[in-house]
A and B are shown apart, each in its own frame.
Chain A
Amino acid sequence: MPILRYIGRRVLFVIPQLFGIILVSFFLVKLIPGDPAVMMLGPTASTQSIAELRDKLGLSKPLITQFGRYLHDVARGDLGTSWQTTRPVTEDLFQRFPATLELITLGLLVALAIGFPLGVAAARRRRGPIRKFADYYGLLAGALPDFWLALVLIYVFYTALGWIPAPLGRIDMAVVPPPTVTGSLVIDSLIAGNLAALASSLGHLLLPVLTLGLINAGPILKMTQSTVERTLSSDFIRYAEMCGLPRRVVLRQAVRAALPSVLTIVSVLYGFLIGGAVLVEIVFSWGGAGQYAVQGVLNADVNPVLGFVVFSAVLSLVIYLVVDLLYFALDPRMRG
């Protein structure tokens, strides 16, 4: 089975890949200006207490020793503590990653629901209003910053129309959240049968998901359009036309042939959005993983930043593995 061999090889490479990622990010993070000891003790601390803390944190040791120690801890599943939350980084991340994943997963589903059909429709005709709309949409979605769109949506739907709950967090303060199972409030509310929590979390998801969906529909639209267009003039589609197959069948074949490219762009966007949705997270006080990492960067809190990188890397590797399995399913040529 080529697929099992492939997965085996893939998993074999996970360890060196993770090592490389940690190596690079460790030294990059150390380049961030700011002394954690100073940040932790505040501006009035004495030089001596700062030095003591630095010793205690291991910051006075050479970088390479610090790196060795960090690796040693990571290997045992310990990502250190955040001095800001005073909690283990692993715990913090297990709480925040689901928030981000719920947001970007739904956001990308909405993006697909907008971008894919629009891209197919635009590819069918080189002229006409749909094509024009798609062109402008792609341009606009590429040019507008997501946080700006988020602010506009908040202004319209919360400030002006009042249709939407206050854009603060994932659920109303007054609503009792469901017990955590998956970390996704929607799924956990469903599991608990807690309709109030379900309604509230969906209400809070609406605008940030719409923001991410509207913006990320742009690249999905462009990719779908260009790939379907290319396949529509490809050899096998021309042959299908010569065989007199109905137009809708020919179009279906072209769309089917474009799926791997769409899958590629979605997986790239997914990997990117794990950290790239941070501005949207901040606007909506989402408390997600990206926001957590940025707080770490701003406060010289090294462990959350590195922990975020490790989590994202593992997640990306999982995503790419899943994507590869989907390629196998979509393209018989890969099954060899």
Chain B
Amino acid sequence: MSGEDLILDVADLWVAFPSYRAAPVHALKGVDLQIAPGAMIGLVGESGSGKTTLARAIMGLVPPPGVVERGRVLFAGKDLRRMDAEARRHLLGREIAMVIPNPRAELNPVIPVGRQIANVVFHHLGVSRKEATGVALDMLRAVRIPDPERRLNAYPHELSGGMAQRVVIAIALACSPKLVISDDATSGLDVTVQAQVLDLLRSMVQEKGAATLFITRDVAITAHFCTRIAVIYAGQLVEMADTRAFFARPAHPYSIMLLAAFSHNPALRARWTRAAGEIADAAGEGCAFAQRCVRRQPRCLTDIPTLRAIAPGHLARCHYPVEERQ
């Protein structure tokens, strides 16, 4: 697919957090990621791997002192990094929308939720306040919040976590965005509510035809949710494949470790996880995952692996990708 047709095209994105004494921490080290219109990409990785930083960098909102050192972010062909801040602001919330993990802390505590939805509509779509409130009510209905007329005036603290998450989904989809980034959106919810909210999110983005970058620590969720999966480790994508191929033949040892962690098979988990004692002794210039990798070879400590195709559309950053089914 050519660059023109992609909704999001991230290339060689580097983000650093300078630290006062030590060398800067690189949260992202050359990330490439393409999202086609309407696609649902799952981004999986453990905590601290750089998922949130990637979401923020796409929006141009890396928190200080972080800086985007290098790279390109094209949104529908427009270079977001070259765009002035005001023009980019007009895209956020309207064309690129965010679903956040902890809505009861991130919604404004002193503004009724209906007005928070209406605010976004009002400032982006140039409608009257009254029309914006009408849209807010429609959105509350669409995310299936019971008694929406009354909930319009509720404050975030008066809602359950699941309800608040629905409000956030309503805000994200109110302006019919082209790209929805969902960052760990259900991690704070209990399992049943989580499933309901995920189903809702999926049906809403499908209905609006938005592309989705679905960020999660839980690789199992992505199986039902995404068309394609990217695995991130220490600021680098280490594997990317269509969902079916990824679950059938995961190639990177780290991906397999993540999958094994969610399986109910202790032997599988043990086979792909290095014991804690073994982790520290390996250090080198090579593969970033080498210290924890069960397949590590001498070459892994000296040569840096690149992200390369091991099958059509299936990329892995590993010298010795796994070929057999797990």
Residues of A within 8 A of B (CB): 233, 235-236, 238-247, 249, 253, 256-257, 330-333
Contacts and interface: CB of A to CB of B under 8 A. Distances in A.
Question: Interface of chain A, helix or strand or loop or mixed?
Answer: helix
Interface string B113-150: 00000011001100000000000000000000000000
Given A244-B91, A333-B109, A239 B100 contact: yes
Interface residues on B, range: 20 to 34
B98 A242 contact: yes
Interface of B is mostly: mixed
Contacts of B110: 256-257, 330-332
A236 B105 contact: yes
A238 B106 contact: yes
A242 B105 CA distance: 14
A242 B61 contact: yes
Contacts of B93: 242-245
Nearest to A333: B157
B312 interface: no
Nearest to A126: B64
B119 A249 contact: yes
B89 interface: yes
27 contacts: A235-B105, A235-B106, A239-B106, A239-B107, A240-B108, A241-B61, A242-B59, A242-B98, A243-B93, A243-B97, A243-B98, A243-B119, A243-B120, A243-B171, A244-B94, A244-B124, A245-B119, A245-B120, A245-B123, A246-B89, A249-B119, A253-B108, A257-B110, A330-B110, A331-B109, A332-B110, A333-B109
A178 B282 CA distance: 89
A238 B105 CA distance: 11
Interface of B: 59, 61, 63, 89-94, 97-98, 100, 102, 105-111, 119-120, 123-124, 155, 157, 171
A236 B107 contact: yes
A31 B225 CA distance: 77
B107 A244 contact: no
Nearest to A332: B155
Contacts of B92: 241-244
Nearest to A239: B106
